[in-house]
């Protein structure tokens, strides 16, 4: 029950702060700034804290079977155990290497290909139906094919991640190129730009936001597909860890594995959002007080 009173106290403090702030005049800018950040943090974390508390309390009060659903603190303990024994880092490393490998390979192939295909409208018209079929064929449904062709080793895992990433990237890149504002192209052409520089200086930057939609879809997909692939046949990786701990009835460790995956997924997503903000900074609005 260690988390509950703490989070309650935190909530209470913030509420008191909120009331105090409302009554005091808002002339002092600095004060108001800390209040706003506090309020922001509160808004972002309160539901998570409540969820963690529920997770902690429910097994302890016997609402759910603690054997299959151990409290949060026990899972964290198991997680720390895995960190200390070095098991976790080994599995995380294996998983990240595979998903980043497949993801980067897909980036290298899909984006240039998508730019070219998008540019030639007729090629895109011919290719799109097939690409749509491939994209809508769940990557995991093809996993047996990959295993048959490429065996159980690293190749088939990287290949499945690659497959899962390639189509969202390709389709978004194609539509990004196709949806560039024709007026911008007209304007650039009227300045006598050659096709090559038109492509480099107008088409690519203009389609970047749409390409990034694909990159984020692929990023999320890469983790998702990989974990499932590791469950189907692997000797390392987080998917394997989860599967293995379940079979050997190490339930807290299993949850620790699941938790690690959410953290990694979250991390990848934030990293991509950050990169997107940096690369498409021109879209963000001026906030000049």
Partner 1 sequence: MNAKISIQQVQKSFRVRRNLVDSNDQKKPLLALGEITLDVKPGEFMVIVGPSGCGKSTLLDLLAGLTRPSSGQILLDGQLITGPNLDRGIVFQQYALFPWKTALANVEFGLQTKGVPRKERRDIAQSFIQLVGLSGCENRYPHELSGGMKQRIAIARSLAYDPEVLLMDEPFAALDVQTRETLQSELLRIWEATKKTIIFITHGIEEAVYLGQRVAVMSSRPGRIKDVIEIPFDKCTKGEDVRTHPAFIRLRHQIWDLLKDEVERAQAQERGDTLQSSR
Which residues here bind partner 1, judged by CB under 8 A? 181, 183-184, 186-193, 197, 201-202, 205-206, 208, 280, 282-283, 285-286
Q: Cα(185)–Cα(53) distance, rounded to whole angstroms?
A: 55
Q: Which residues contact 280 (CB under 8 A, 6 or more apart)?
A: 208, 209, 212
Name the burial class of residue 165, with classes exposed (0-12), middle (13-18) and buried (19+) by CB atoms within 10 angstroms of its CB: buried
Least distance (Å) from partner 1 to the CB of residue 207?
11
Terminus-to-terminus CA distance in the chain, angstroms?
Answer: 44
Q: Cα(211)–Cα(148) distance, rounded to whole angstroms?
A: 32
Least distance (Å) from partner 1 to the CB of residue 286?
5
Nearer to partner 1, 250 or 280 (CB): 280
DSSP helix, strand, coil percent of the chain (3-state; round to 5): 85, 0, 15
Q: Cα(194)–Cα(178) distance, rounded to whole angstroms?
A: 18
Least distance (Å) from partner 1 to the CB of residue 211?
13
Least distance (Å) from partner 1 to the CB of residue 125?
15
Diameter over CA atoms, the chain: 75
Q: What angle do CA 182, 183, 184 make, to 5 degrees?
A: 90
Nearer to partner 1, 4 or 280 (CB): 280
CB 118 within 8 A of CB 198: no
Nearer to partner 1, 127 or 185 (CB): 185
Nearer to partner 1, 81 or 205 (CB): 205
Nearer to partner 1, 129 or 192 (CB): 192
Least distance (Å) from partner 1 to the CB of residue 174?
20
Least distance (Å) from partner 1 to the CB of residue 191?
5
Nearer to partner 1, 30 or 192 (CB): 192
CB 63 within 8 A of CB 38: no
H/E run at residue 285: none
Least distance (Å) from partner 1 to the CB of residue 196?
12
Tokens 């299993």 found at = 254
Least distance (Å) from partner 1 to the CB of residue 167?
26
Nearer to partner 1, 2 or 190 (CB): 190
Nearer to partner 1, 104 or 206 (CB): 206
Tokens 């105090």 found at = 20
């Amino acid at each position: 029950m260690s988390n509950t009173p703490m989070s309650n106290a935190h909530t209470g403090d913030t509420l008191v702060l909120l009331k105090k702030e409302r009554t005091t005049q808002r002339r002092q800018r600095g004060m108001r700034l800390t209040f706003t950040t506090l309020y922001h943090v509160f808004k972002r974390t309160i539901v998570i804290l409540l969820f963690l508390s529920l997770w902690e309390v429910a097994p302890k009060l016997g609402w759910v079977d603690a054997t299959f659903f151990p409290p949060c603190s026990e899972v964290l303990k198991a997680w720390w155990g895995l960190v200390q024994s070095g098991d976790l880092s080994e599995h995380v490393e294996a998983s990240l290497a595979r998903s980043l490998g497949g993801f980067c390979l897909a980036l290298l192939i899909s984006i240039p290909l998508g730019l070219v295909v998008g540019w030639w409208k007729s090629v895109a018209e011919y290719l799109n139906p097939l690409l749509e079929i491939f994209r809508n064929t769940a990557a995991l449904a093809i996993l047996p094919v990959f295993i048959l062709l490429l065996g159980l080793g690293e190749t088939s895992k990287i290949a499945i991640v690659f497959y899962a990433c390639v189509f969202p990237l390709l389709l978004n890149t194609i539509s990004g190129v196709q949806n560039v504002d024709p007026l911008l192209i007209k304007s650039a052409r009227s300045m006598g730009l050659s096709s090559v520089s038109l492509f480099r200086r107008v088409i690519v930057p203009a389609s970047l936001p749409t390409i990034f939609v694909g990159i984020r879809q692929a990023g999320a997909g890469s983790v998702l597909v990989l974990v499932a692939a590791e469950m189907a046949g692997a000797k390392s990786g987080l998917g394997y860890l989860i599967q293995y701990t379940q079979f050997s009835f190490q339930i807290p460790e299993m949850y620790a594995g699941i938790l690690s995956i959410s953290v990694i997924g979250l991390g990848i997503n934030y990293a991509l959002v950050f990169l997107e903000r940096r690369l498409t900074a021109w879209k963000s609005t001026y906030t000049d007080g």
